[in-house]
Amino acid sequence: MGALNSRVWAGPLDYANKSFPATIKEVKSGSRGTEYLVKYPTALKSLFRANNTVWGHFFVPNGPVGRRYPCILVLPGMAEPNIWIENQFMKRFRKDGFAVMWIEMPYQFHRRPAPLVPSGQVFLAHSARELAFNFRESVLDARRTLSWIRKNHSVDPHHIGIFGISLGSLVGAATYSVDKTPHYAVFLLGGADFPQLVEHSAMTAAFIHKLKVTPQEMAKAWPGLDPIDYRAQNYGKKVFLMNGWFDHIIPRVYARKLKDAFPDSRQEWVPFGHYSSIINLFWLPRYVADKFLRNL
């Protein structure tokens, strides 16, 4: 990563809202709407060619010509082999009349450096600086996607929201902290204070310790990247948080820090862990969709 110059570490999550090339291709059309594949350059170029193209999956409901729909940007978890969990929510969003856009995060799926590399694995990187770079790329890609959504003729630019799960919630929370496009957000199984979180998460602690990355190195690489850095400007933002009481991936202390980062948010708890929370999928998609219906 030495080829990446120092300026990428210095700034916060600023995004220059300039034009960028994007291709859009119809993938599938059905009774409820049309799905498109949207591809465009990453907002922060990495050293891996495959990772430098964002793959966006955009769904537009069927309706009268010229109608604009509320839209939800979906940010998936990082270490998942597929988006089965997120798809349960997106099915509900589509059924309720939302346009939906989900993106493949850095090093996920088509953005893997090589076909045999597990999806999302490279995101964890080998140093605090690299991890901060990857997180920053994720947020800036989300901001670029919001820019594309806002300008799409099928979307009502005043009714855009964000939905994230696990790491998608961390990225979404940072995005929502600095971007004025979204008007509502729902984050499931998310947290804040990432430099400390990776030291204490059951998913990353052993990896971080093996690399001998110190908390001091993490803190030095992370200024301006965490939603807790934006607490003052997050007053008044509408957010719904749901966390697992027995979650060892996002321990309660860091889930509560995410609540503190959005002072006017509402936080609810389920009596499960990070993965066992999937048991709530029989009712949770409808519950979350209702939040968006009421607030978008």
Domains, the chain, ranges and CATH?
25-295 (3.40.50.1820)
Distance of alpha carbon 215 from alpha carbon 241, whole angstroms:
26
Q: Which ranges of 11-157 would DSSP assign to H, the alpha helix? A: 84-95, 128-151
How far apart CA 85 and CA 58 sit, in angstroms, is 17
CA-closest candidate to residue 78, choices 193, 178, 164: 164
Residue 78 pLDDT: 83
Question: Would the pLDDT of 12 be above 80?
Answer: no
Q: Is the pLDDT of residue 11 over 80?
A: no
pLDDT band at 130 (very low <50, low <70, confident <90, very high): very high
Q: What is the mean pLDDT of residues 101-127?
A: 91
Q: What's the CA gap between 144 and 17, in Å, rounded?
A: 8
Query: Is residue 120 very low, low, confident or very high in pLDDT (cuts 50, 70, 90)?
Result: confident
pLDDT at 111 over 80: yes
What stretches of the chain adopt beta strand conformation (E)? 23-29, 33-41, 53-61, 69-75, 99-103, 155-165, 184-188, 239-244, 266-270
SS (H, E, C) 130-179: HHHHHHHHHHHHHHHHHHHHHHCCCEEEEEEEEEEECHHHHHHHHHHHHC
Residue 1 pLDDT > 50, yes or no? no
**How do beta strands 23-29 and 33-41 pair?**
antiparallel
pLDDT band at 207 (very low <50, low <70, confident <90, very high): confident
The predicted model gives 130-149 an average pLDDT of: 96
- What pLDDT does 214 receive? 87
E strand segments, 226-287: 239-244, 266-270
> In the predicted model, what is the mean pLDDT of residues 257-286?
96
SS (H, E, C) 130-141: HHHHHHHHHHHH
pLDDT digits (tens, 9 = 90+) for 71-98: 999 999 987 889 999 999 999 999 999 9
Which is it for the CA torsion 74, 116, 26, 141, positive or negative? positive
Neighbour count for residue 67 (Cβ, 10 Å): 12
